[in-house]
Chains A and B, each alone.
Chain A
Amino acid sequence: MSNRDEVIGKLRTSLVRFLVTQPGMSREDSEDVAQQTMVVLLSDRYRHLEEEADLTPLSFEIVRRTRLDFLKRRKRYEPMPEGHDPVSHEPGVDRILIEDYEDIESKARKWLDRLRNLLPGMSKRCRQLLELRLKGFSTDDIAAAMSMTNNYVLVAEHRCRNTIRGMQPEGSVR
């Protein structure tokens, strides 16, 4: 077994374990999506990729699209959950599922909207950290720029994420 085969074998196992934990995915669904992802990874188009650093990020992208198609197909054939109210703004599993149908551009637009709403309530330090990350600063760079240790940068970022979660409406955080 080549190194590539070994990496792809590990990827398949990891993807199934991950997908099972996602909303609306049964064990069978997860196996199906992981298998379809593997078919793409094993195609000639990606045969030149051998290392984990190439295959893992690529598998995330493929699995996201594959899962999106899978859920869309299934949605066409399955009835909506009992008590489903299409105009309700109450959070629920069906709403989380619908969020999963969105492509990455829609998610990006929503992320920017959330940023617009939440940033004014965030501390100056959180905004600085986010700005430096967006500018492409690594943890080392940020630690130097803000006269902090690396660990403190990570702790501060963790606190900022918790603050953001606390500010968001219940059920809207994934």
Chain B
Amino acid sequence: MSPERAQHLLQGYAYGTLTRAELQELSVAALDDEDLFAQMAHADEQRQILAVPGVREEALRIVRQSAEPELSWRDRLAAWFRPGTLLPAAAVAMVVMVLIVKYKPWDRGDKHSQTDVNNQLYQPEARAVADLQPAAAGPAFTISSEPWMNSTVTEATNISFRVQLAAPAALVVVQQMPDGRARFVYPESLTEPVDLTAGEHRIALEASPPGSGIAGNIRLVVAAFEPSTDVRLPDVSLDQARGRMTRREISYAVRAP
């Protein structure tokens, strides 16, 4: 068994995500490998700790609480002018400029486009959200574009718009791809909360990944659910969420950069 495979199985064992076949594979290998057996014994302690009722939930709560608070734009701006920040930043910018001029990334064409597309994440949960037809209206909201934007964008551009929420809501944005797949584009990562307070929020997202070669329109579904309904997670029942949900579709025409 390769070290990478062993690590993969040990992590899965510690967190209880192995299939029966994987558990058998790890157990058989551990009985023939002294070190692997010791590692499995240590991983088993983690597994048993997480199996204590309430521990996994409490750990998740601690992880969520420890997330860094979002800085306001004033704090971010002030951080740039702290002593010792500007000079290193200027040096880094200079190096980046030199590298860009030297390697001319604009001459590389679409060499990496397929890799980018393959690395992109398309989730069945996103598809399900895009297809949802709610039984009743959820939190109400309206959408307005940034004043400086119009509905035509270039590829690989950042899109932003404003959402006015009438009540607190769990808000997600799904991008529908031309081939029928879909992906969550807001919030940016799974660890960011989906709940937003009532009022106006600026939603910024990268809708069209670089080099994806997506032609036609960028189609987005903005969906507002009841607070704490994180539909991005596989374990959240869409049947429950489907009861109350508000959705709007927006699209941007893509032109060549």
Contact = CB atoms under 8 A, between A and B. Distances in A.
A53 B23 contact: yes
A52 B24 contact: yes
Given A14-B31, A134-B56, A147-B119, A119 B49 contact: no
Interface stretch (B37-45, B95-103, B143-151, B155-163): B37-45
B181 to A, nearest CB: 13
A147 B191 CA distance: 14
Interface string B18-59: 101001100110111010011011101101111010011011
A138 B121 contact: no
Contacts of A137: 17
A168 to B, nearest CB: 15
B15 to A, nearest CB: 5
B12 A139 contact: yes
B48 A61 contact: yes
Contact of B49 (A55, A108, A122): A108
Contacts of A14: 30-31, 34, 37
Contact of A139 (B11, B31, B44): B11
Contact of A104 (B11, B31, B48): B48
B34 A154 contact: no
Interface residues of B, number: 50
B24 A53 contact: yes
Nearest to A124: B68
Contact of B60 (A17, A57, A135): A135
A159 interface: no
A116 B62 contact: yes
B20 A53 contact: yes
Interface string A38-76: 000000000000011101110011001000000000000
A133 B15 contact: yes
Contacts of A18: 34, 37-38, 41
Interface in A130-174: 130-139, 144-147, 150-151, 154, 157-158, 174
A30 to B, nearest CB: 13
A138 B27 contact: no
B66 A127 contact: yes
A134 B34 contact: no
A21 interface: yes
Nearest to B32: A10
A165 to B, nearest CB: 13
B67 A154 contact: no
14 contacts: A7-B31, A18-B38, A53-B23, A57-B27, A61-B48, A104-B48, A105-B52, A108-B49, A112-B58, A131-B64, A137-B17, A138-B18, A139-B11, A147-B120
